[in-house]
Amino acid sequence: MRIDKYLSMYCEELSRSYLQKLLKEQEVLVNEKAVKSNYKVSPGEIVQLSLPEAVEPEIEAEEMELDILYEDQDIILINKPKGMVVHPAAGHYSGTLVNGLMAHCRDSLSGINGVMRPGIVHRIDMDTTGVIIVCKNDLAHNSIAEQLKEHSITRKYYAVVHGALKEDEGTVNAPIGRHPVDRKKMSINEKNGREAITHYRVLERFKQFTYVECQLETGRTHQIRVHMASIGHPILGDQVYGPAKCPFRLNGQTLHAGVLGIVHPESGAYMEFTAPLPEYFEDLLRKLRGAL
């Protein structure tokens, strides 16, 4: 087996491109000799992999227009636009929601998740729009994190899915874990997955699509996208879990975090926040209604 394939099997947390980089930089030794990516390993050989010390990049504050739904001394709720990454990560160190929040909130963001994710207690995908809550202090962060853990937060999403759902409402209860082959994807994983529950309700039916509301009971990575695809109704525009061809120009899945309800960490009062559907989503619904 090639050394690059061997390493990708045993170092699942490292991307293939990063492993190739380590091979080029002679950070991979077989029997104490540097090898290239096409080297074929044999039983009994000793493989050594050296990982350079991780250095966190400096994250800079950036002035940007944020669609603020609510703000007080403990929390801030943002209506995130399509295409915005929530927090800095490889390939996205600027233009993220965190960059904008650092400029808006200055030093008032919780530090529990470190310098790369100040204030971030949960996230939504880059191409998913809608409500996200950010915590300004550690007390608020711990409170919201506990509510997420207990599944007591109200989270309703709106999506257009392929096909006609048989029932007007239903529940997908299937564990989600990392895809066994494609490490960038999630999948239904009975063996190594974590509990995942999504409740869905039909809002409107079209010829080839259905407009649905999905309420999360749990919050796994890509949960709604994986669950709806698993029952044969992937989200329209989903370039990872849906069909290769999309009949509309959407730039990603039609998924909107419309409602988020929490118990306020300071007052103890239940508060619910709503983000209106983005214009592209409203346009799509008008097109679908016009095709009936």
The pLDDT value given to residue 168? 98
Asked whether 150 and 217 are in contact (CB, 8 A), the reply is no
pTM over 0.85: no
Asked whether 216 and 198 are in contact (CB, 8 A), the reply is yes
The pLDDT value given to residue 9? 83
The pLDDT value given to residue 212? 98
**What's the pLDDT tens digit per position in 221-244?**
999 999 999 999 999 999 999 998
Average pLDDT rounded to a whole number, residues 125-140: 97
Residue 55 pLDDT greater than 80, yes or no? no
Average pLDDT rounded to a whole number, residues 43-55: 86
Residues recognised as catalytic: 125
Average pLDDT rounded to a whole number, residues 129-154: 96
Residue 106 pLDDT greater than 70, yes or no? yes
The lowest-confidence range among 47-56, 90-99, 228-237, 263-272 is 47-56
Task: Give the chain's mean pLDDT.
Answer: 93
Closest CA to 98 of 88, 108, 107, 90: 88
CA dihedral sign of residues 24, 27, 33, 38: negative
The lowest-confidence range among 47-61, 222-236, 248-262 is 47-61
Average pLDDT rounded to a whole number, residues 260-286: 97
The pLDDT value given to residue 169? 97
Residue 72 pLDDT greater than 80, yes or no? yes
Average pLDDT rounded to a whole number, residues 257-264: 98
Average pLDDT rounded to a whole number, residues 190-217: 95
Q: pLDDT confidence of 292, banded at 50, 70, 90?
A: low
E strand spans, the chain: 28-30, 33-34, 47-49, 68-71, 75-80, 129-135, 154-162, 169-173, 176-178, 186-188, 197-205, 209-216, 255-263, 270-274
Residue 45 pLDDT greater than 90, yes or no? yes
Q: pLDDT confidence of 56, banded at 50, 70, 90?
A: low
Greater pLDDT, 54 or 189: 189
CA dihedral sign of residues 103, 148, 236, 160: negative
Residue 184 pLDDT greater than 90, yes or no? no
Greater pLDDT, 99 or 15: 99
Render 143-205 in DSSP notation, one character per residue. Answer: HHHHHHHTT-SEEEEEEEEES--SSSEEEEE--EEE-SS-TTSEEE-TTT-B--EEEEEEEEE
Residue 264 pLDDT greater than 90, yes or no? yes
Instruction: Please report how the helices 16-24 and 3-10 are oriented relative to each other, as an axis angle in degrees rounded to 10.
Output: 130
